[in-house]
Amino acid sequence: MSYPSAMTTLIKNPQLHLLNALRADSKPIMTFLGLPSFRTAQVVAQTGVDGIIIDCEHGYISDDSMHSSTAAIAALGVSPLVRLRMTHADLIKRALDAGAHGIVVPQINTAEEARTVVSYSKFPPQGVRGQGSAFPAIAHGIDIPTYLQTANETIITCLQIESKEGVENVDAICAVPGIDMIFIGPNDLALSVLGYVPAKGDEPDFVDAIEKIVAAARKHGKWVGRLSNSGALCKEHLKVFDTVAMSYDIRAMQNWYTAELQIARS
């Protein structure tokens, strides 16, 4: 049985900023949040980004910080997404129950793993997600009954392909119903494909892997995004990708201080 998805839904909700931007093909720009501060979340959300990925995989983000950041970001009209540590049902449930507009799941290597993510992120009959939280409807700007009726087709389910195995299975992964977006983690992908990071960007095996991921996503009608480390790279990558995540809050702070201190001490 087929179900509506974030890519095909006819539901209109102005609160879902990233989803609306993707559907309008307006090339939205996201960033990563790695610091456990709702104030940092507020500051970053006021910069003009379309979405913020709260990084519970590599960032210093606890469960309560994830809840606070999700609420702070959504309250400012920006879409909060949560990058999980892995595919466990409880991690998916906590992120969605906090009100995330989407989840980003790393290190997906097989279609079976992709189907597991879909199952845990959808309410019955499409999946096995349980209901009980009063919070997600707030972050979606709707009441609980409406959230329960619309969540399955408005939450963005995004998988990261970042390994040789993932690239080998990318066509089958992208064919899984309920997956909306594929996201490329270039550093882990380079580490797996090349054995080192960062990639120069022109290594044939690395370029081939990225092109294969993009082609599979396009073939199966999925959005595709990637990490970009600067505004210039974002502009270049958006010629190919539907969305990008521009760097990281921690890296942005480090880069600003490093550059300004060099000027100050010159």
pLDDT digits (tens, 9 = 90+) for 124-160: 999 999 998 999 999 999 999 999 999 999 999 999 9
In this prediction, residue 1 carries a pLDDT of: 77
pLDDT tens digits, 6-19: 999 999 999 999 99
Q: Which CATH number do you get for residue 198?
A: 3.20.20.60
pLDDT tens digits, 16-42: 999 999 999 999 999 999 999 999 999
Residue 224, H or E segment:
strand 223-228
Q: Which of 58, 67, 140, 237 is catalytic?
A: 58
- Answer yes or no: is 233 within a domain: yes
- Answer yes or no: is 10 within a domain: no
- Answer yes or no: is 133 within a domain: yes
In this prediction, residue 261 carries a pLDDT of: 98
- Please tell me the total count of domains within the chain: 1
- Answer yes or no: is 3 within a domain: no
Residues of the chain short of pLDDT 50, as ranges, are none
Burial class (CB in 10 A: 0-12, 13-18, 19+), 239: exposed
Query: How far apart are alpha carbons 157 and 85 in whole angstroms?
Result: 15
Active site residue 58: yes
- Answer yes or no: is 140 within a domain: yes
- Answer yes or no: is 12 within a domain: no
- Answer yes or no: is 87 within a domain: yes
pLDDT over 70 percentage in the chain: 100
SS3 183: strand
Domain range enclosing 149:
17-265
- Answer yes or no: is 23 within a domain: yes
In this prediction, residue 59 carries a pLDDT of: 96
The DSSP annotation for 29-98 comes to EEEEE-S--HHHHHHHHTTT-SEEEEETTTSS--HHHHHHHHHHHHHTT-EEEEE-SSS-HHHHHHHHHH
